[in-house]
């Protein structure tokens, strides 16, 4: 992943040098387990513990000769170990090391993502609480629908991100496992006891049964969880982008004092951060598909998944963290224009509150079809420059024949909408108001 979308700590986690460090950590964990079982003497174990992580340059030199990166790594480590080096990689196969080290990397990557996700959840919770009574118009098909609040919109996104967080944790648990069971997973050359003891030292659970590799349905599910998290992120980004349109103007993403929205048009203030989130979510969906293609390996293994994962897993975790941090930056500095929201809601005489009039007329005894056609006619008459739905309603003899002035006025009150919305905040456990960025648990 290019630096633009790669958080520094995750780039270091997935670096080639760190991979060699983790490979050695796995190898030494097995040596420790063998020593505890009496298979390696304390003196030999002391020599093994002093083994340094080999340089990338030396591993690359050996790989050029051997055509195998893990075998080159083992050779590079053994060069400085003397006789004790014979215990390194004893009874193991490459995937024992690769898959177990990969689990360690995915565990750390997930922890970083969960920190970012927790912060985003907190910001969404704060916005939801702060604006739970900030009225705006809801939209369906891109058109005005009925009143709601900006806090309710943010609460909806919060609920969605909470599900994404739970989904990611479940998928992460499936990949945070190790496998040290030999060439086709039968423990013929490395006992289950050694595997369990070594993995315990690494903080991993052993898979119940494996082939030469850990089954790739686990990694496919993990990539799918990231892709869904990306889709959820994109939905938030798209909604905020729509609300920032010139014709809407209800929110604005942060804009730096020296920032330029366009090289040619000085007035421009584009939602570029949110657009970036939308674009990167497409990459996550592509990597999820690649992960699904990796599941069907030949028999006990082939290597077709390896090249895919060397790109997909590091890049997907880095992009996910970057997207979450970008959204957090936007929400931290988001400008919410409550006056614009109110103005849009009251457009053309509160046209978006037609359903309350419909229901009032039906309750007053008018047949539904008759009431619908009446309200529709009044609404269409108001939906023009200078039009007012409320004025049309108040001047309608058909409405006056069924409803009194107080009943008509009640059809245009916002409070009934706002009162019913409160139940959603209660279900989410959101307080009346929170300071910006207050934590909300996934």
Q: Which residues are catalytic?
A: 141, 262
- The neighbouring-strand residues paired with 140 are 143
- The neighbouring-strand residues paired with 139 are 144
Whether 402 contacts 358, CB under 8 Å = no
Q: Which whole-number Å values give the CA distances from 268 to 122, 247, 261, 277, 354, in the listed order?
A: 30, 14, 5, 19, 36
Nearest partner of 345 among 197, 183, 151, 137, judged by Cα: 137
Element (H, E) at 173: helix 150-175
Whether 88 contacts 48, CB under 8 Å = yes
- For 100, list phi and psi in degrees, rounded to 5: -70, -40
Q: Which whole-number Å values give the CA distances from 6 to 12, 275, 306, 332, in the listed order?
A: 10, 17, 21, 21
What is the DSSP track for 374-430? HHHHHHHHHSSTT--HHHHHHT-HHHHTT--HHHHHHTT-SHHHHHHHHHHHHHHT-
Q: Which whole-number Å values give the CA distances from 172 to 96, 176, 182, 197, 208, in the listed order?
A: 19, 6, 24, 22, 17
- The neighbouring-strand residues paired with 245 are none
Whether 388 contacts 346, CB under 8 Å = no
For the chain, give the longest Cα–Cα distance.
Answer: 103
Whether 71 contacts 59, CB under 8 Å = no
Q: Which whole-number Å values give the CA distances from 413 to 40, 290, 339, 356, in the listed order?
A: 81, 52, 17, 9
Residue pointed to by tokens 């989904």: 167
């Amino acid at each position: 992943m290019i630096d633009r979308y790669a958080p520094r700590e995750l780039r270091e986690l997935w670096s080639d040098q760190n991979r060699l460090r983790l490979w050695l950590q796995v190898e030494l964990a097995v040596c420790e387990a063998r020593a505890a079982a009496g298979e390696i003497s304390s003196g030999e174990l002391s020599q093994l513990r002093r083994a340094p992580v080999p340089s990338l340059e030396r591993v690359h030199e050996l790989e050029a000769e051997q055509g195998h990166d893990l075998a080159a790594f083992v050779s590079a480590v053994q060069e400085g170990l003397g006789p004790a080096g014979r215990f390194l990689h004893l009874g193991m196969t490459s995937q024992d090391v690769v898959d177990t080290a990969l689990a360690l990397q995915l565990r750390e990557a997930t922890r970083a993502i969960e920190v970012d996700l927790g912060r985003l959840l907190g910001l969404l919770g704060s916005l939801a609480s702060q604006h739970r009574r900030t009225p705006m118009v809801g939209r369906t098909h891109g058109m005005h629908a009925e009143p709601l609040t900006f806090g309710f919109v943010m609460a909806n996104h919060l609920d969605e991100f909470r599900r994404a967080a739970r989904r990611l944790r479940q998928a992460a648990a499936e990949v945070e496992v190790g496998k040290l069971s030999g060439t086709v997973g039968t423990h013929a050359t490395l006992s289950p006891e050694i595997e369990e003891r070594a993995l315990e030292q690494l903080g991993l659970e052993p898979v119940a049964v494996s082939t030469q590799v850990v089954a790739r349905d686990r990694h496919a599910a993990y990539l799918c969880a990231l892709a869904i998290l990306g889709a959820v992120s994109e939905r938030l980004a798209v909604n905020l982008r729509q609300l920032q349109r010139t014709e809407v103007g209800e929110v604005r993403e942060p804009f730096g004092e020296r920032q330029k929205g366009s090289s040619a048009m000085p007035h421009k203030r584009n939602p570029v951060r949110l657009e970036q989130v939308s674009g990167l979510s497409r990459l996550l969906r592509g990597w999820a598909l690649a992960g699904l293609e990796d599941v069907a390996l030949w028999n006990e293994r082939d290597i077709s998944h390896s090249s895919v994962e060397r790109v997909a897993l590091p890049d997907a975790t880095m992009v996910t963290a970057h997207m979450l941090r970008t959204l957090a930056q936007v929400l931290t500095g988001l400008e919410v224009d409550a006056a614009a929201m109110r103005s849009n809601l009251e457009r053309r005489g509160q046209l978006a509150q037609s359903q309350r009039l419909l229901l009032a007329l039906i309750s007053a005894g008018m047949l539904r079809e008759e009431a619908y056609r009446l309200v529709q006619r009044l609404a269409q008459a108001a939906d023009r420059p200078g039009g007012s739905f409320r004025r049309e309603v108040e001047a309608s003899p058909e409405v006056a024949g069924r409803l009194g002035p107080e009943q008509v006025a009640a059809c245009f009150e916002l409070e009934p909408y706002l009162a019913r919305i409160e139940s959603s905040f209660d279900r989410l456990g959101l307080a009346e108001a929170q300071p910006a960025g207050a934590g909300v648990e996934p």
